[in-house]
Amino acid sequence: MKYERTLKQCLLLAFILQYIYIIGGNKVHIKTNAVIEDIVELKDFKKLLRTKTNVLVLFAVNVKQNTEHIKIFKEVSAEVRGTGTMVIIDCNQGEKKKLCKKLKVSPDPIVLKHFKDGEYHKDYDRQMSLNSMVNFMRDPTGDLPWEEDPLGKDVLHFQDYFGFMKHLKRHLKPLLVMLYVPWCGFCKRLRPEFSKAATELKSEGFILGAMDVERKENTLARKVFNLTGFPTLIYFESGQLKQYYEGENNKEAIVAFMRDPASIPLKQNKELDWSSDTNSEIVHLTKQGFEPALKDEKSVLVMFYAPWCGHCKRLKIDYEKAALEMKNKKIPGILAALDVTKETSIAEQYKVKGYPTLKYFVNAQYKYDVHIREAEKIIEFMKDPKEPPPPPPPEKSWEEEEDSSNILFLNDQTFNSTLKRKKHALVMFYAPWCGHCKNTKPEFNAAANAMKDESRIIFAAVDCTRDTVVCSNQGVRGYPTLKYFSYLKVKVDYQGGRKREDFIAFLKNASESSKSNQKQIHEEL
């Protein structure tokens, strides 16, 4: 009996394994064939188009003679299940042959036709590969992905963040990587210049790479590099981040920079004028055109922003994405923006107190403020505009928290003058919205409270959304960033753990080392 039970278990396991395959050695996927192959009559085909909005049909002269194409097609179907529908029609098979004639399709040996919202959209004209077809089905109306553009053949395209990190560890050649999203107008304009620079520099051993951080598998890159705008170009040497490229956005400047990064003065705090982006779907308002632009519009959401505002930069990404999706899906309404640093009187008229502020208008008449920040929620609101409930009370600032009494909060004016007088200072550069900062704060507070009697040691903090100058001068690119200072003459990046005991041990070690050095100098004298 025991033998029979074991045999049954083995047979069951073997049966299950027939439907499982391994990708990359560590990810298990269930093989699912989501391809529709039973469409025979024209009425069934039309019914399919009425019920499915994103359909790719492979017409073949003979399915059995196109096994490689069919294999890729079926792999794609498993990847896009839920977002797209894949259909195979064998034009050499009985009644299906008649169907192909009625549809006026003549495959040779295959042809792929895409149907969108019940209508013929276009013939599929991209590579017959898994990545290309998946990209197409996820965004059939989008531009040709950069990695498929012949002009970008010499750009190293990273498919995911972990592949990018592996590259940095294994390849030590100078690398300039462009982090972008496909819908970004500035990115689209830079792409050809960046591609040409990659081709010119290829023979010299320099690498120009690119990564689409809109993809879910690359969202970690947006957090690690604290991306607030696109494109962002980062320069690496020997696998280490050296600096953010802020030079001119043309081939000549990029080539010159790669040949000698120190030869080109970088523009500090360069801000791209959002309203100059001709590819943007956002309507940019001015004082003169504010009411004329809105008076005939029944649904307008206006974002009041300041170019230097970190929260605005982050919202801008989702705002642009929402506007593009509204256009593609024909959702009524307009997303607009107004730069309050240029149009102060309009901001005052509508009592804008902070940035960004979203206000909803109907025929130029203000209705209410809207407290949403994500693209999906903006789209959902514009589909059915309703006055939202009042926002929850704002969180206390770090300075207002009871446990932070032993943290010294510095700003642009007090940073240098304070630290010049401090022997040992551990400074945390943070952003109030940052999740990692929120997790680190209680540990940092606890360490400061535990060492409050150490007169030579201080714990300090700087809000980088408010005091941007000092954060820029200290090279802060992500949050939280922790740095150790001694009389402002010694500066060390803190790379230790983020627990109470880690901070205490670090500062005790710094203090003991300082005492030991002083004792040695005294003995030598």
Report how far apart the first and last C-alpha atoms of the chain are (Å, whole number). 89
Which residues have CB under 8 Å from 469's CB, separation 6+? Answer: 412
Q: How confident is the model at residue 515 (pLDDT cuts 50, 70, 90)?
A: low
Is 272 a member of any domain?
no
Is 422 a member of any domain?
yes
pLDDT at residue 268 tops 60: no
Centre a 10 Å sphere on the Cβ of residue 321 and count the other Cβ atoms it contains: 20
Is 453 a member of any domain?
yes
Q: How confident is the model at residue 183 (pLDDT cuts 50, 70, 90)?
A: confident
Measure the CA dihedral 116/117/118/120, to 10°: -30
Is 500 a member of any domain?
yes
Give the CB-side neighbour count of residue 10, counting CA atoms within 13 A: 6
Based on the domain organization, do 346 and 318 belong to the same domain? yes
Based on the domain organization, do 127 and 161 belong to the same domain? no
Give start and end residues of each alpha helix (H) in 182-309. 185-201, 219-224, 251-259, 290-294
Per-residue pLDDT tens digits for 391-422 = 677 678 899 888 899 999 999 899 999 999 99
Select the more confidently predicted residue: 269 or 412: 412
The CATH number of residue 466's host domain is 3.40.30.10
| 42-60: average pLDDT | 93
With beta carbons less than 8 A apart as the criterion, state whether 382 and 333 touch: yes
Based on the domain organization, do 130 and 206 belong to the same domain? no
**Domain limit, last residue, from 126, 142, 158:** 142
**Domain limit, last residue, from 142, 160, 190:** 142
pLDDT at residue 322 tops 80: yes
Is 118 a member of any domain?
yes
Per-residue pLDDT tens digits for 146-155 = 988 889 999 9
The overall average pLDDT reported for the chain is 85
- Provide the residue range defining the domain that includes 220: 148-259
Is 300 a member of any domain?
yes
Plot region of 221 (φ>0 → left; ψ -120 to 50 → alpha; else → beta)? alpha
Centre a 10 Å sphere on the Cβ of residue 418 and count the other Cβ atoms it contains: 18
**Domain limit, last residue, from 81, 109, 142:** 142
Per-residue pLDDT tens digits for 463-491 = 988 888 888 889 887 889 999 999 998 89
| 48-77: average pLDDT | 89
Based on the domain organization, do 135 and 158 belong to the same domain? no
Q: Tokens for 117, please give them.
A: 């919202």
Per-residue pLDDT tens digits for 3-29 = 444 444 544 444 444 433 333 333 333
Domains in the chain: how many in total?
Answer: 4
Select the more confidently predicted residue: 178 or 18: 178
With beta carbons less than 8 A apart as the criterion, state whether 137 and 54 touch: yes
Is 32 a member of any domain?
no
Is 8 a member of any domain?
no
